Amino acid sequence: MRIRRDEVNCFANLLEARQLISELKKLGCGFTMDDFGGGLSSFAYLKNLPVDILKIDGVFARSIVNDPMDEVMVKSINEIGHVMGMVTVSEFVETDATIDKLRTIGVDFAQGYAIAEPAPLQQQPRSFQS
């Protein structure tokens, strides 16, 4: 088996990222992997980076109510995240039906227009402000 140079560089960068995250976690920082499922290397990153929160790419949530494949993808990602001890968040949650489906699956949190519309921080409830 022959390893390409770009694979070596990717692995080296992944090791450096893992080390940096581990050092920052010792200082109390938490980390989120955003848009999980949207890229080809997502599972390799997930397996190798010590993140705390797994945000499921919104492309799956958008059609989860009507598309069995998207539902299975979200279920799988959610289960993997939970097995790894991560909190899961679904992006692009735009309807109550989507919220209900995500609750049934067991996703921990949701983000999107069905929850709240984007607004400047100054207009957010006091609990979101420092």
Active site residues: 91
C-alpha distances in angstroms, 20 versus 63, 83, 130? 36, 23, 26
Tokens at 114, concatenated:
């069905």
* First CA to last CA distance, the chain: 53
Listed residue (34, 53, 38, 41) closest to 14, CA to CA: 41
Listed residue (115, 68, 72) closest to 91, CA to CA: 115
C-alpha distances in angstroms, 52 versus 33, 46, 48, 82? 8, 10, 12, 10
